[in-house]
Chain A
Amino acid sequence: MTTAAEGQKTTMARRPGSGKRAALIFVSRYGTIIGLLAMIVFFSIAAPTTFPTMANFLNILSQASLTAIIAAGLTYTLVVGEFDLSVGFVASFIGLIVCGLMANQGFPIPIAIIASLALGTFIGCINGLLVTKVGINAVIATLGVGTILSGIGFSYSAFPIAVGIPRDFTLISLGRIVFGVPNPVVIMFAVLAILWVVLNKTDLGQKMQAVGSNIEAARLSGIRVDRIKLFAFMTAGFCAALTGILLSSLLGSGTLGAGDGYLLNAFAAVFLGSATLREGQFHIFGTLVGVMILAVGFNGLSIFGAPTHFQPIFKGGILVFAVGLSALARRYAASS
């Protein structure tokens, strides 16, 4: 008797529920893209002369490019099921070091950049070793490494390094070599394309996805889990270093803590991206969508003359919203 009644209840409850669920899944898959398009349409109608112009779009893209590069690296660590809270500090630190190498050591620009990228990758390697070989929780390990870096940066140069930097260095970020498109935008698309191909088209990328999906299954399938994670952390370090270099080039100086703010932007973008197209999985295209949402939002806010303190409100709000959306999507994907 009781079970029959209960059975009826559940079948009756399922019908209205399934429609709601389908809607939720739809929102969780396409919500971010729809949101991005809606923002673009809204700003275009509200500010027809200033927003929808080629110049402004290039402006948005170049504002987005640095965040996109650092976020793409961060995406790799999240794909393998880890975290990297040091990326913002790495960007700041490398931004300082690259200027220092040129100003104090007199390194030529290419050597300074290569050395800085190598250093960033090495820091990522340390993060990875702390997490995989020592077994420290990634949040703690990367936060610790990041904090140490900010301290070293302070002792290296408490004041901005602005004197003695070759003028050509600033042209890296300010130049427009390809069809008048700002260089950072070109670099962003190149980096994202490479990371996308590696993640989706190579066996290394498939192994990364496997490690993030089920580490035990990956291990039993003969995948060297630690090495895969190490690679992800090194990629994150490399991307953070690249962002730091581009940032210094943009500012024309190496400034303490200049890149710290990228951490939150990158996280917001990556989590927004994980709620795009695939339920709760991290992927490069999603990250790009996430970055664009932030950039379009910031741009729109400034066009309408919103006070600057609106930016953190928007950023924090959208991060919480994005993570919530992603968590919901994951839960529904798991229950289906």
Chain B
Amino acid sequence: MQIRGVEKQFAGEVALRDINLDIRRGEVHGLVGANGAGKSTLIRCIAGVTVPDRGTITIDGTELRHGSPRASEAAGLAFIHQELNLVPHFSALENILLGAPKATRLLLIDWKTSGIAARAAAERVGIRFPLETRVSELSVAERWLVMISKALVRRANLIAMDEPTASLSAAESEQLFRIIRDLAGDGVAILYVSHRLDEVLDLCDRITVLRDGAIVDREVRGKLDKKGLVRAIIGHDVGHGEQRERRVVPRDGTPVFAARGVARGEAVKGVSFEVYPGEVFALGGLVGSGRTEVARLAIGADKLEAGHFEMNGARLDVADEAEAVSKGLALVPEERRAQGMLLDQSVAFNINLASLLQLRSVPGLPFVSAGKARGRAEHLMKQLAVKAPGAGAKISGLSGGNQQKTMIARWLRPGTKVLILDEPSRGVDVGAREEIHGAIRDLARNGVGIIVISSDVEELAILADRVVVLREGHVTGELVGDEISEARIIELSYMHGSEIGEPMEAKG
């Protein structure tokens, strides 16, 4: 497969820039990069889900038609995403053959004949369970094998895998690697996308590194070590740019907020941290490391399985979001559109949503004062420099940055004691980002406990006074003040399971 000059823009933002990539038969090709570097977009282009703005993709000399998942499949490309697209209540056999041409007899599917090819594929990947088992009864590792068999039945000659080992045990991963190498030996090309750099270094014949939508490095196996890979992922301009004076807040007294060994399922496995008044505290780590899940536990959206949270030294138990809010804990969510904004309502309505009780004309009577509501909205819009035609303008017409400011304004009220901001500057332009950062620092200075969650290491390095980095539900390290740098955060983010617990923690 050859990719030549593929580019893609989303709403003026460059997602892919002049991508040239060759994947040969029989090779395992690693694709790495930070969140948002363009890996998913590239794969979506190859899969025919996204139409690139320009560039060509050729397979064995034939050009692939853009934007057609069918054409991609016919050309022998198969894609295995993290959220394996299997039908849970179909058997493994039915799933393997789903969508593939099947032998028929009198218009009815002849499962016996069709099954032969499926069983051959299953044998090749080492499936030991009966193919009649329902997929819902299979483990994640077994489902992966079903997906790979499915690709083989369609005679795929390139299989793209997205984070295959994310939920596999070490032994299961080993088995998968063996299968991948076998397939490569048979001439199948594998495009292997992963955040686990050790795996990539170990498994892949060649590695391509994406950063900000462009290929920044490619190496054959052995020419690159983990340090070099990390450097390539974050770029060489580490530490350059808007560094600011960090405040190391004295940590005496009681923390305004604390997590004590909180855990839930596979996502969060015993996370502890303390947030002191006056500091900008941040949770770092890759997507899927458990940051957002910790936030959901804190606000009562999910139930804790172990551990507890504390607010101002007292144990904090919340049954649901409403109780969290009434106790002063609020979340500015990651998905602004889906979880934050009321798109068909005005800016003022959106700002005042969490303060309706304080805006009553007469306390005790349920009537909201239009004057007070408007006054509060206009005051906060001015304070946060929200650019809008007016408080009555619909929020859907605002830019991403102004929408995000509106979401923060919602919580600027006396009752807010701890504010969690999940990806506060996602989809926000640089100018608005600075203003949002300013607002966050102001809040912290006024004694509100601040927890920033961000995938953007640069943002963490600029904004945070203290960073706790998570990796697969564990805390891998804590950085304070001048220790905080993009490189250190990345290093902790990619730290592998076995290294956890080593003396990596640097106390301030």
Contacts and interface: CB of A to CB of B under 8 A. Distances in A.
Contact of A202 (B326, B341, B366): B366
Q: Which of B343, B344, B349, B352 has the most CB of A within 10 A?
A: B344
Contacts of A281: 344
B342 interface: yes
Given A210-B353, A220-B331, A222-B321, A204 B339 contact: no
Interface stretch (A15-23, A103-111, A144-152, A211-219): A211-219
18 contacts: A2-B54, A3-B53, A201-B368, A202-B368, A207-B356, A210-B345, A210-B353, A213-B342, A213-B343, A216-B333, A217-B341, A218-B342, A220-B340, A221-B353, A221-B410, A222-B321, A222-B324, A224-B322
Contacts of A336: 396-397
A198 B344 CA distance: 20
A126 interface: no
Interface residues of B, number: 34
A3 to B, nearest CB: 6
Interface in B330-362: 330-331, 333, 338-345, 349, 352-354, 356-357, 359-360
Contacts of B343: 213-214, 334
Interface of A: 2-3, 198, 201-204, 206-207, 209-210, 213-214, 216-224, 279-281, 333-334, 336
7 A-B pairs closest in CB distance: A222-B325, A203-B356, A213-B342, A202-B366, A216-B339, A221-B354, A221-B353
Contacts of A279: 344
Contact of B356 (A3, A206, A220, A333): A206
Interface of B: 53-54, 299, 320-322, 324-326, 330-331, 333, 338-345, 349, 352-354, 356-357, 359-360, 366-368, 396-397, 410
Contacts of B356: 203, 206-207
Given A202-B366, A203-B368, A220-B339, A209 B345 contact: yes
Contacts of B352: 206
A207 B356 CA distance: 9
Contacts of B320: 219, 224
Contacts of A210: 342, 345, 349, 353
Contacts of A219: 320-322
B354 A202 contact: no
B12 to A, nearest CB: 12
A3 B324 CA distance: 49
Given A203-B360, A209-B345, A218 B368 contact: no
A7 to B, nearest CB: 11
A201 B368 CA distance: 6
Given A2-B54, A214-B341, A214-B343, A221 B366 contact: no
B367 A201 contact: yes
A213 B360 CA distance: 22
Contacts of A204: 366
Contacts of B360: 203
Contacts of B396: 336
A217 B340 contact: yes
A202 to B, nearest CB: 4
A220 B299 contact: yes
B322 A222 contact: yes
Contacts of B321: 219-220, 222
Contact of B345 (A201, A207, A213, A224): A213
B322 A206 contact: no
A281 B345 CA distance: 10
Nearest to B350: A217
A168 B333 CA distance: 59
Contacts of B368: 201-203, 206
A206 B345 CA distance: 10
B342 A217 contact: yes
A336 B344 CA distance: 11
A77 B354 CA distance: 22
A76 to B, nearest CB: 15
B102 to A, nearest CB: 34
Contacts of A209: 342, 345, 349
A38 B158 CA distance: 65
Given A214-B341, A216-B338, A281-B344, A221 B325 contact: yes
Contacts of A202: 366-368
A207 B330 CA distance: 17
Given A219-B320, A333-B344, 9 more contacts: A203-B356, A206-B368, A214-B339, A216-B333, A217-B339, A217-B342, A219-B321, A224-B322, A334-B343
Contacts of B339: 214, 216-217, 220
A279 B360 CA distance: 28
B363 to A, nearest CB: 12
Contacts of A206: 349, 352-353, 356, 368
